[in-house]
């Protein structure tokens, strides 16, 4: 029996889905969506808020503010509501409607950026607005998930050790790259503990995180239009880039087996399968991928046929995952 008094105290750490029957590849999916925030971001939110409290940055008069495409915004909304803080989430027009409504239901204010910055896209525009808020009122406290080391420390202390405990012979770990907090925490942990795990980052085509050219991205979660400061590329062994259409196909392939996951998970699964196709033929590799969230918040986008046709064309679901065009490079 689990009895808690705060929503951030509950998180399922030991649930993995064996995707062998779905993908015809050996891949275990670590499910991070079974908590009150519904995503892996609850860990980072809790860690960053706790550190800010210890440092004396947060007081009863403080107003938390953060730039988020959705999941961290929900996580911070939950903790802010529990602790009595006010919270303003600065998001953009790609944020799912269900996500915005959930933050508002928890008492948070949501400001939606509708015009992208010419150089840095929506992310730069969101960050610019956050800076304006902080400059206008000293009560605003920006945790800044893109530069905050407590973002990756949450996964160094919790996510990576839980994977290592369940899979002591792990060969390959696939981690989606957004702010790169999960990626950096896991990669640092396995490097610091001299564990021979190959860490493969999975990013979206159009993201500039690893130096690729910027392009429009419609699915929130992974990828950035401004390179995160907490990223240290030397900890990453390889990078796989995934087209958004392949993200959609992966999500629908999993849904046809009863697993409704979010867009970030579809990207990670698509990238993992592409890498395994290229590198694991005839090899018995122990592989784990991290699933950041579940799929309910994507019902109006990734799982909505009219939205898919408008964005990706009529045949986006006609091609199976095995034809996905993800690309990998060392």
pLDDT in tens, 259-271: 999 999 999 999 9
Contact between 116 and 110 under an 8 Å Cβ cutoff? The reply is no
Average pLDDT over residues 261-283: 92
Stretch 61-77: mean pLDDT: 94
Residue 209 sits in the same domain as residue 298:
yes
- The residue out of 92, 110, 142 marking a domain boundary is 142
Same domain, 105 and 234: no
Q: Do 138 and 182 belong together in one domain?
A: no
Is residue 180 located within the same domain as residue 324? yes
> Do 185 and 311 lie in a common domain?
yes
Length of the chain: 330
pLDDT at 321: 46
Q: Work out the average pLDDT over 269-286.
A: 90
Question: Do the strands 63-67 and 28-31 form a parallel or antiparallel pair, or are they unpaired?
Answer: unpaired
Give the CATH number, domain containing residue 232.
Answer: 3.40.50.1100
Res 107 pLDDT > 60: yes
138 is a domain residue: yes
Q: Following DSSP, what letter does each residue of 110-155 receive, concatenated? A: EEEE-S-BTTTHHHHHHHHHHHHHHHH-TTEEE--TTT-HHHHHHI
Same domain, 210 and 243: yes
Percent of the chain with pLDDT over 90: 82
The pTM score is 0.92
Q: Does a structural domain hold residue 269?
A: yes
Which of 80-89, 106-115, 310-319 has the lowest average pLDDT? 310-319
Render pLDDT for 139-177 as a digit per residue (tens, 0 to 9). Answer: 999 999 999 999 999 999 999 999 999 999 999 999 999
Average pLDDT on 297-325 reads 80
Which residue range forms the structural domain that includes residue 220?
Answer: 7-31+156-329
Mean per-residue pLDDT of the chain: 92
The domain boundary, picked from 117, 142, 167, lies at 142
Does residue 151 lie within any of the structural domains? no
- Please indicate, yes or no, whether residues 216 and 281 belong to a single structural domain of this protein: yes
Domain final position from 77, 108, 142? 142
User: Is 36 a domain residue?
Assistant: no
The count of domains in the chain is: 2
| 294 and 232 in a common domain | yes
The per-residue b/e assignment along 128-165, b for 16 or more CB within 10 angstroms, e otherwise, is ebbeebbeeeeebbbbbbbebbbbbbbbbebbbebbbe
Say if 150 falls within a structural domain: no
């Amino acid at each position: 029996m689990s009895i808690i008094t705060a929503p951030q105290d509950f998180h399922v750490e030991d649930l993995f889905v064996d995707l062998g029957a779905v993908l015809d590849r050996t891949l275990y999916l670590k499910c991070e969506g079974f908590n009150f925030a519904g995503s892996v971001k609850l860990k980072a939110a809790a860690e960053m808020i706790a550190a800010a409290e210890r440092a004396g940055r947060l007081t009863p008069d403080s107003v938390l503010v953060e730039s988020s495409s959705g999941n961290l915004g929900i996580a911070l909304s939950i903790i802010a509501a529990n602790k009595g803080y006010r919270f303003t989430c600065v998001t953009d027009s790609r944020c799912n409607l269900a996500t915005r409504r959930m933050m508002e239901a928890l008492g948070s204010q949501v400001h939606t950026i509708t015009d992208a910055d010419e150089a840095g896209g929506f992310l730069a525009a969101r960050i610019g607005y956050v800076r304006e808020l902080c400059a206008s009122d000293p009560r605003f406290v920006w945790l800044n998930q893109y530069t905050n080391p407590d973002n990756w420390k949450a996964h160094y202390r919790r996510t990576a050790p839980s994977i290592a405990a369940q899979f002591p012979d792990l060969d390959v770990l696939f981690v989606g790259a957004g702010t790169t907090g999960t990626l950096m925490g896991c990669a640092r942990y396995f490097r610091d503990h001299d564990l021979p795990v190959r860490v493969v980052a999975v990013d979206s085509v159009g993201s500039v995180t690893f130096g690729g050219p910027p392009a429009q991205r419609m699915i929130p979660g992974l990828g950035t239009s401004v390179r995160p400061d907490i990223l240290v590329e030397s900890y990453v062994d390889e990078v796989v880039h995934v087209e958004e259409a392949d993200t959609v196909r992966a999500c629908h392939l999993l849904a046809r087996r009863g697993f409704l996951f979010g867009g970030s998970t579809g990207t990670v699964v698509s990238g993992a399968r592409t890498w395994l196709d290229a590198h694991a033929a005839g090899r018995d590799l122990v592989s784990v991928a991290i699933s950041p969230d579940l799929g309910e918040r994507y019902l109006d986008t990734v799982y909505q046929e009219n939205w898919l046709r408008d964005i990706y064309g009529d045949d986006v679901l006609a091609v199976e995952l095995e034809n996905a065009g993800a690309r990998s490079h060392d």
